[in-house]
Structure 1
Amino acid sequence: MLLYPHFSYIGFIIIFIIYFFCFLIFAVPVQIWLRKRPKLFSIKQLLIYFSVAFLVTMLLFLIYGNLDFPQVLLISSYHSIVFWLLDSILLNAKKI
């Protein structure tokens, strides 16, 4: 990404802030809902996180006008795994 000729740090920060708020708006209610029935490293919860991350990423890519489906899948996978792992690790730490 740094080798891209039109890369700018300000643009990167702005896009990061937009992604952060979009995922904050959508992921926090999902995490609160999933915390009602806590399970450690549940595949069902991973699929729920993936579907929400996929919808948010697809929405953002449609807004930007650059719909690249493999990239949407990759970004959605990364976000869902991060939320799933953090949720499971924090849930595990909470039980100790």
Structure 2
Amino acid sequence: MFVYSGFMAIALVTIGIIAFYALITYLVFAVPLQVWLRRRRRKFSLINFLIYIAVAFSAVFLFWFVDYPPNALTVFRSFEYYIMSIVAAFIYWFWDSIFLRN
């Protein structure tokens, strides 16, 4: 909400906070998974993509549970939950496949 306000300093702080949360999510969930999956070293593997999807579903559920504990099970009825999980998995899988080196 602050990003759309006319006050630029609040918008910059909000963007910094969003970037910080994205970095924490990446460091906690994606980096260990990338290290584990790089043992097999296959680019654009469908199995790796399915593993990324499973981890993304659990990570998004965990963050939803932390934000809204009494309504945690209602997340499965939310279309945004599935979109966020699949898009996050696709982004991490895609970048991991591009930067995978032999």
Query: TM-score normalised to the size of structure 1?
Result: 0.77
Whole-Å separation in 1 of the counterparts to 2:65 and 2:42: 33
- In structure 1, list runs of 5 or more residues that go unmatched: 1-6
Pair 1:86-2:95 in alignment: yes
Whole-Å separation in 1 of the counterparts to 2:88 and 2:38: 18
Pair 1:17-2:26 in alignment: no
- The answer as to whether partners of 1:53 and 1:79 remain within 8 angstroms in 2 is yes
- The answer as to whether partners of 1:50 and 1:76 remain within 8 angstroms in 2 is yes
Alignment RMSD, CA only?
1.9
The aligned residue for residue 45 of structure 2 is: 42
The aligned residue for residue 80 of structure 2 is: 71
Q: CA deviation at 1:11?
A: 4.3
Q: CA deviation at 1:12?
A: 5.1
- Residue 51 of structure 1 aligns to a residue whose secondary structure is helix
1:28 to 27, 31, 43: 31
Q: CA deviation at 1:22?
A: 2.3
Q: CA deviation at 1:63?
A: 1.3
Whole-Å separation in 2 of the counterparts to 1:88 and 1:12: 27
Q: How many residues align?
A: 87
Query: TM-score normalised to the size of structure 2?
Result: 0.73
Q: Percent same amino acid at aligned positions?
A: 32
- In structure 2, list runs of 5 or more residues that go unmatched: 3-10
- Residue 43 of structure 2 aligns to a residue whose secondary structure is coil
The more displaced of 29-38 and 18-27 is 18-27
